[in-house]
Each structure stands twice: as C-alpha cells, then as structure tokens.
Amino acid sequence: MHFSVMQLALILGIIILLFGTKKLTNVGGDVGAAIRNFRSEMKRGQGETDETHDDKDKIIEGKATQPTATPFKFKKKEDSK
C-alpha cells in the first residue's frame, strides 16, 4: 500500500486537529526520551554482560564419561506359521 504526499498531509492534518500541536509536541518529546533511555540501558546492559562473562577463557579439566542412556534395541518378531 503506497501513500501519496497528499494523503499523508491529510492524515497529518487530521491528527493535528484531533490532538492539537501542544499535545503532539509532548508526545514527541516523551517518545524521544523513551528511545534515549532504551539506548542507554542497552549500552549499560552490554557493558555488564561483557564484565560478567569473562569465564569463557577458563578451561575445566576432568574425565570424560560415556553417556548413561543406552540405545533402544529392537527385538525381531518370530514368524508364526
């Protein structure tokens, strides 16, 4: 679905009439603040994960064991004639 410039202008005009310019600027500011907070929390979260996951360089030594589950074996049916 493609919108022309005239259709977008009409939609924008209706939105301005419904909500008013003051309300729209407040909403725009709130959305901008939310995006900034989200980005800063994402950066802070990535910094914490880098610090807490330094264990990947550690090698755990131990004896390897065989798996405990045994494979299922099918029984052959005897032909009853």
Q: What does the DSSP assignment read for 36-74?
A: HHHHHHHHHHHHHHHHHTGGGG----------SPPPP-P
pLDDT at residue number 2 = 83
**Distance between CA 44 and CA 36 in Å, rounded?**
12
User: pLDDT at residue 5 above 60?
Assistant: yes
Higher pLDDT, 43 or 66: 43
Query: What are the pLDDT digits (tens) for 24-57?
Result: 888 889 999 999 999 999 988 877 654 555 555 6
Rounded to two decimals, the pTM is 0.40
Q: What mean pLDDT is predicted for residues 11-25? A: 88
CA distances from 42 to 4, 27, 30, 56, 64 (A): 36, 22, 18, 22, 39
